């Protein structure tokens, strides 16, 4: 190798290293050469269609997506001793979404560029052509259809006549490599690369946060993909932390007024950290389970495991502690025996049902059953009527309705005398003493509330 060629090669490699980043240019260690990844500038709203002519990839037969980036064209090269004075670089050209015929055309054009620039360094003109002119040179427009043979790369290297037809194989350049094994692998590669490049581009751009009104790089911001709004991580972190601590896990959306875009779990985790994210994840799961009519919680305070109730019944069995319980009263399952439901539970269930909209009523009827809901409503109506129209015996608790008569009542359940006005028990030997005692609050009120033409001395009662 002449000194001039050696210096020209070294200068060219140094120039490439200064122009392109480490992600784009990788210089070889053992010999003069390297690898260059050429990422094309695609038109906006560039649409890609991937088709496979094999049954194994039938899932991708109709794959269609709009992308901003496609995987790069990879130029591997080695500089021979006679370069650039007499000999061109040795190279291969590989790509996942260009066919061998398309890559062959590019290889031939690189050879033509060498002939035009013989005696001069040619790598930079090659790169510029691949980056800026590939789409026009190959007449690639949107929508761009990519057809992948059933066996990927092997199908055309091993059986070219079957794949491309007789007589076409000699026209394919051995330096042209379609580096893909299947349509499904190509789809994954396209989507992953497009997402990675979009994030790389986003991270390097400045954005204005509409909360703190400061301009920050995208690497310090969060991007809501559905609405395209961007906020800085510091502001969004504080906003999300407050919402999670308050239990508002369904409110982790874009702060823009009237915007409904939801933050992804990955975005939430990156912003609030592992500990607070665990709380968010737990509350989100719990709120989702609460919306399921066939899911209840184990009533044991030490368990509280979500439990699927038995279809069409009121029994549920906890999968953790094996507790079989009634979903109505939360006590041990009692079969056909009536629930020992407290008045408070009935009131709560009735009020929840009456206050709910149509969807809420259907949800409660599905969870507890229409019969149980109807029973709760009817029993509460009966209890409200009893509270308004009767009083309980102070001894046995029997509901007594006063139909007429004086205020000295006799319980039909236990035959205890009691005062209708203050519910005090009365002396069995002299029940009227209560009304004749000046110190009593009911003094001279034995006939209070009775019409003047009535002369009852015993309260007429009805046992309810």
Name the strand (E) or helix (H) holding 101.
helix 100-116
The answer to whether 161 and 169 are in contact (CB under 8 A) is yes
Residue 74's closest CA among 139, 149, 130, 30?
130
Q: Residue 443 in 3-state DSSP?
A: coil
DSSP string covering 9-28:
HHHHHHHHHHHS-TTTEEE-
Q: CA geometry: angle at 245 spanning 242 and 248, to 5°?
A: 80
The residue among 187, 194, 188 whose CA lies nearest residue 69 is: 194
Strand partners, 148: 52
Closest CA to 298 of 289, 280, 337: 289
Strand, coil or helix: 266 = helix
One-character DSSP codes across 288-329 = HHHT-TTEEE---TTT--EEEBPTTSSEEE-TTT--EEETTT
Decide if 253 contacts 263 (C-beta within 8 A).
yes
Q: Is the peptide bond before 84 cis (omega within 30 degrees of 0)?
A: yes
The residues assigned a catalytic role are: 406
CB atoms within 10 A of CB 162: 11
Radius of gyration (C-alpha) of the chain in whole angstroms: 42
Q: What CA–CA distances, in Å, run from 54 to 60, 148, 155, 421?
A: 10, 9, 11, 92
**End-to-end distance of the chain based on CA atoms, in angstroms?**
117
DSSP conformational letter for 425: B
C-alpha–C-alpha distance, residues 185 and 360, integer Å:
46
Bond before 143 cis per omega within 30 degrees: yes
């Amino acid at each position: 190798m002449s000194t001039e060629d050696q210096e020209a090669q070294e200068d060219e490699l140094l120039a490439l290293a200064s122009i392109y980043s480490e992600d784009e240019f990788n210089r070889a260690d053992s010999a003069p050469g390297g690898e260059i990844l050429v990422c094309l500038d695609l038109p906006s709203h560039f649409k890609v269609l991937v088709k496979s002519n094999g049954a194994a990839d039938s899932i991708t037969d109709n794959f269609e997506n709009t992308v901003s980036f496609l995987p790069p064209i990879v130029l591997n090269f080695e500089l021979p001793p006679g370069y650039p004075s007499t000999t061109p670089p040795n190279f291969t050209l590989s790509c996942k979404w260009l066919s061998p015929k398309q890559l062959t055309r590019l290889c031939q054009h690189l050879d033509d560029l060498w002939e035009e620039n013989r005696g001069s360094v040619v790598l930079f003109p090659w790169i510029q052509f691949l980056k800026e002119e590939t789409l026009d040179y190959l007449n690639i427009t949107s929508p761009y259809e990519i057809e992948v043979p059933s066996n990927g790369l092997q199908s055309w290297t091993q059986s070219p006549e079957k794949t491309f037809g007789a007589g076409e194989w000699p026209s394919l350049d051995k330096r042209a490599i379609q580096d893909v094994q299947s349509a499904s692998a190509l789809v994954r590669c396209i989507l992953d690369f497009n997402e990675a490049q979009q994030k790389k581009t986003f991270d390097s751009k400045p954005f204005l946060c509409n909360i703190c009104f400061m301009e920050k790089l995208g690497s310090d911001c969060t991007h809501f993909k559905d609405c395209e709004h961007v906020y800085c991580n510091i502001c969004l972190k504080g906003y999300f932390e407050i919402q999670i601590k308050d239990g508002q896990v369904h409110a982790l959306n874009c702060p823009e007024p009237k915007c409904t875009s939801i933050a992804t779990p990955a975005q939430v985790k990156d912003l609030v950290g592992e500990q607070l994210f665990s709380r968010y994840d737990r509350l989100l799961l719990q709120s989702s389970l609460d919306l399921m009519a066939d899911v209840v919680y184990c009533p044991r305070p030490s368990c509280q495991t979500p439990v699927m109730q038995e279809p069409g019944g009121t029994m549920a069995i906890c999968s953790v502690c094996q507790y079989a319980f009634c979903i109505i009263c939360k006590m041990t399952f009692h079969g056909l025996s009536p629930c020992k439901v407290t008045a408070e539970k009935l009131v709560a269930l009735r009020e929840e049902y009456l206050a709910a909209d149509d969807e809420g009523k259907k949800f409660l009827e599905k969870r507890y059953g229409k019969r149980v809901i109807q029973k709760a409503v009817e029993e509460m109506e009966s209890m409200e009527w009893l509270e308004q129209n009767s009083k309980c015996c102070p001894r046995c608790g029997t509901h007594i309705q006063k139909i007429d008569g004086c205020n000295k009542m006799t319980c039909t359940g236990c035959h205890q005398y009691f005062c209708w006005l203050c519910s005090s028990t009365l002396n069995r030997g002299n029940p009227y003493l209560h009304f004749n005692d000046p110190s009593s609050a009911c003094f001279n009120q034995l006939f209070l509330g009775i019409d003047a033409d009535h002369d009852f001395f015993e309260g007429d009662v009805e046992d309810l």
